[in-house]
Amino acid sequence: MKKSVIYPGSFDPLTNGHINIIERAAKCFDEVIIGVAKNSSKDSILDPNERVIILKKIFKNNKKIIVDEFEGLLAQYVNKRKVYTILRGMRTVQDFEYELQMATSNNKLNSKLETIFMVADGNHSHISSSLIKDIIRLGGDASKFIPKIVERELKKKLLKKG
Residue 61 pLDDT > 90? yes
Is it true that domain 4-125 has CATH number 3.40.50.620?
A: yes
Per-residue pLDDT band at 11 (split at 50, 70, 90): very high
Q: Is 68 exposed, middle or buried (0-12, 13-18, 19+ CB in 10 A)?
A: middle
With beta carbons less than 8 A apart as the criterion, state whether 10 and 39 touch.
yes
At 123-143, the pLDDT tens digits run: 888 888 889 999 999 999 999
Active site residues: 18, 42, 91, 129
CB atoms within 10 A of CB 58: 19
At 13-47, the pLDDT tens digits run: 999 999 999 999 999 999 999 999 997 666 789 99
Domain ranges of the chain: 4-125
Distance CA 108, CA 99 (A): 14
Phi-psi region of 33 (alpha: psi -120 to 50; beta: other; left: phi over 0): beta
Average pLDDT, the chain: 93
